[in-house]
Amino acid sequence: MNRSVAIFVALLCGFALALGGCASSGSKKKKRTVLMTEYDDARVGQEASTDVAAQMGVLDDPKINAYVTELGLKLLRGLPRRSFQYHFAVVDQEEPNAFALPGGYIFISRGLLALANNEDELACVIGHEITHVNHRHAAAQQQLSKRGLAMPWIKAGKMAAYGRDMERDADKGGQILCAAAGYDPIGMSSFLDNLAQTERYRLGFSRNPGWLDTHPGSNERAAINAVRASEIRWKRDPLIKNSQQSLFAKIDGLPWGQRPQAGVFDGDIFIHPDLDFYLRFPDGWYTQNTNSAVGAQEPRGRAVVFLSADAPPGDPQEIAETWATKTRQTQAIDVKDSRAVKIGHIDAWRMTVDARMGGGLVSSLVTFIPYANATWRMTGMSLASEANQYRGRILATTRSFRPLTPEEKRSVTESNLHIATANAGDDIERLNQRTGNAWDVRETALFNGVFINHRFEAGDLVKTVRVRPYVAPETAAREKPAAAPAP
C-alpha cells in the first residue's frame, strides 16, 4: 500500500478505535490472526478487503473493474497451483499504487492505470501482486517478525531486507506469469522506470532507498527486470493485436486527480460539492481524503483532526450521548465536558473526552453537527499533555464547517483522461495546444513514457487530460430540461 495513505488510514482507525471504532470496524476491535494456514490467509484477506473498500473506496466503474478482473484471471492460468479464490478491484486513489492482501485480494489504483502505457505493464503489475499472494509473503513476514532479535533496529533492518527480497521475488514471478499469458515481460521494467520518473518529478530529486526501506529502488528493479525479460521465452497472445490500444481503449475517460464526487482539496481548504460543505484545515498540516473520513495530521504526528458522517440527522445531544454510551462498551473513556455549541447557524453538541491509548492519555474534542442528511462528527485529538497547544486549531477547523457559496460550487472542476490521436510531426506542445490538454509538456511526457522533445507519428495515441466544470447530480437534475408533452 502507498505508505502515506496507509499511515493516515491507520492513524484515523487507531484514534477512531479509541473513540468508538472505525466506520468499517464495527463495535469490536479485531484480534490479530496468526497466518499459519491458507485458510487463515483467506479469512484475514476477506476481512481486510472490507476495510479497504470502506477506507479507500472502490471505483464505481463496472467496466474498468471487469477489465482488471479479466486480466487478472488470465494471468492466473499460469499458476501451477491455485490455493485461493482471487478477487481484483480498482481503488479510488489518485496515486499510482497496487497491493495485495492475504488470501487473493488484489487492488490496483486508478492512478496506476493512468500511469501504465500498455497492457504489458499492467499485466506485470498484477502478476507481481498475484505472486505475493501465491507465495504467502504476508505469512512469511509475520513469522519473521516473531523471531527474537536482540536489538529493535537490527530486527527492523532484517525485516526491511526480507521485504526487499520479497519484492524482487514478486517481480520475477510477475514476469513469468505475464510471459505465460502472452504479454511482454519487459513491461515490468518499463513500468518501474516510469514510476521512478514519477517519483523524481514529485520529490524533485532521485531518492535512493535506505537500510530500512522495504522496497528496492525502482531504478534498480527496472534494470534487473530488463535483463530478466531478455532471457524469458514468450510468444505474444494473438488476441492482443496492440498492447497499448488494448489498455487505452479501457482507460479513456478514467477520472484523473481528485474526484469532485468525493470532495476536493485546494491547499488547506476542502470542498464537497455533492454534500455541499466547506472546511478549512490547519495551515501546513498533512491532509488526506479517504472514503470514510477527511482530515489533517500535524506534520510531526502530534495531533489530528478529521470529519466523518456516522449517524442520521437528529438531535445532536442525543446522538452524542448515544455515541458515548456505545464507545464505553469497547473503550474506557472519560467525558470531561458536554455542552451545546453553535457552528455558524447550526445547533451542534460538543464533548471533551479523554481516553487511554497505547499507554498514553489522549484528549479529544468531538463535535456533532446535524447538517443536510447526516450528523457529522468532527474529531480533534492530541496527547492530553499537548491539548492546549492544538485546541485553537482544532476549534478553528470545526467552526469553519459551513454550506458552500454558489461561487464555490461553480469553481469545482472535474478531470478525465482523454486518449488523443497525434498528427504527423506533432511535438508535445503543439499536441497540447490542439487538444486542450491540461497537462503541461513535462507531465504529458512523463505519463506517456516519452522525452519532452518527442515528436509523434501520425496516428500515435497519447494520454491527455480534459477539464470541465463539475455539476453536482442534484444541480444537474434540477437544471435538466423538462420533457416535451406528448402530442
Q: pLDDT by residue (tens digit) across 93-120? A: 999 999 988 889 999 999 999 999 999 9
Do 354 and 418 fall within a single domain?
Answer: no
Do 394 and 427 fall within a single domain?
Answer: no
Q: What is the pLDDT of residue 83?
A: 82
Q: Of 101-105, 210-214, 342-346, where does mean pLDDT reach its minimum? A: 210-214
Fill in the DSSP letter of residue 28.
S
> Is the confidence at residue 8, as pLDDT, over 70?
no
Do 295 and 400 fall within a single domain?
Answer: yes
Question: Three-class SS of residue 93?
Answer: coil
Q: Is residue 18 part of a domain?
A: no
Count of CB atoms within 10 A of residue 169's CB?
A: 15
Do 399 and 298 fall within a single domain?
Answer: yes
* pLDDT-based confidence at residue 210 (cuts at 50, 70, 90): very low
Tell me the pLDDT tens digit for each residue of 39-93. 677 788 888 888 888 888 999 999 999 999 999 999 999 998 888 899 999 999 9
Do 290 and 435 fall within a single domain?
Answer: no
- In the block, residue with C-alpha cell 510471459: 179
Express as a percent the part of the chain with pLDDT over 90: 66
Do 436 and 362 fall within a single domain?
Answer: no
Q: What is the pLDDT of residue 117?
A: 98
Q: What is the pLDDT of residue 30?
A: 53
Q: Is residue 474 part of a domain?
A: no
Specify the CATH number for the domain of residue 346. Answer: 3.40.1000.10
Q: Is residue 266 part of a domain?
A: yes
Q: What is the pLDDT of residue 237?
A: 93
Rg (Cα) of the chain, in Å, rounded?
Answer: 25
- Cell readout for 10 is 491507520
Q: Mark which of 408, 426, 447 sits at the end of a domain.
A: 408
Q: Is residue 479 part of a domain?
A: no
Count of CB atoms within 10 A of residue 226's CB?
A: 16
Do 43 and 191 fall within a single domain?
Answer: yes
* pLDDT-based confidence at residue 35 (cuts at 50, 70, 90): low
Residue 269's DSSP bridge partners are 266, 280
**Total tally of structural domains belonging to the chain:** 3
33 HSE (CA, 13 A, CB side): 18
Q: Of 145-159, 247-261, 320-334, 440-454, where does mean pLDDT reach its minimum? A: 145-159
Do 356 and 442 fall within a single domain?
Answer: no
Q: Beta strand 269-272 with 277-280: parallel, antiparallel or unpaired?
A: antiparallel
* pLDDT-based confidence at residue 2 (cuts at 50, 70, 90): very low
Contact at 8 Å (CB) between 144 and 159?
yes
Do 60 and 201 fall within a single domain?
Answer: yes
Contact at 8 Å (CB) between 39 and 93?
no
Q: Mark which of 256, 274, 306 sits at the end of a domain.
A: 256
Q: Which domain holds residue 315?
A: 260-408
Q: CA–CA separation, 125 vs 175, rounded Å?
A: 9
Query: Average pLDDT, whole number, for the chain?
Result: 85
Do 182 and 84 fall within a single domain?
Answer: yes
Q: What is the pLDDT of residue 14?
A: 42
- Cell readout for 378 is 468532527
Count of CB atoms within 10 A of residue 178's CB?
A: 31
**What average pLDDT does range 6-32 have in this prediction?**
42
Do 150 and 284 fall within a single domain?
Answer: no
Contact at 8 Å (CB) between 311 and 375?
yes
Q: Is residue 188 part of a domain?
A: yes
* Beta-strand runs (E) in 344-481: 346-357, 360-371, 374-383, 413-421, 461-469
What is the identity of the amino acid at 191? F
Q: CA–CA separation, 225 vs 326, rounded Å?
A: 52
* pLDDT-based confidence at residue 32 (cuts at 50, 70, 90): low
- In the block, residue with C-alpha cell 487507531: 14
Q: Is residue 460 part of a domain?
A: yes
Tell me the pLDDT tens digit for each residue of 422-453. 999 999 999 999 999 999 999 999 999 999 99
What is the identity of the amino acid at 159? M
Burial 391-410 (b: 16+ CB within 10 A, else e): bebbbebbbbbbebeeeebe
- Backbone dihedral angles phi then psi of residue 36, each to the nearest 5 degrees: -85, -35
* pLDDT-based confidence at residue 178 (cuts at 50, 70, 90): very high
More confident residue, 216 or 257: 257
Q: What is the pLDDT of residue 149?
A: 43
- What's the whole-model pTM score? 0.84
Alpha helices in 56-118 (DSSP H): 62-76, 110-115
Tell me the pLDDT tens digit for each residue of 243-299. 999 999 999 999 999 999 999 999 999 999 999 999 999 999 999 998 889 999 999
Do 177 and 218 fall within a single domain?
Answer: yes
Question: Three-class SS of residue 123?
Answer: helix
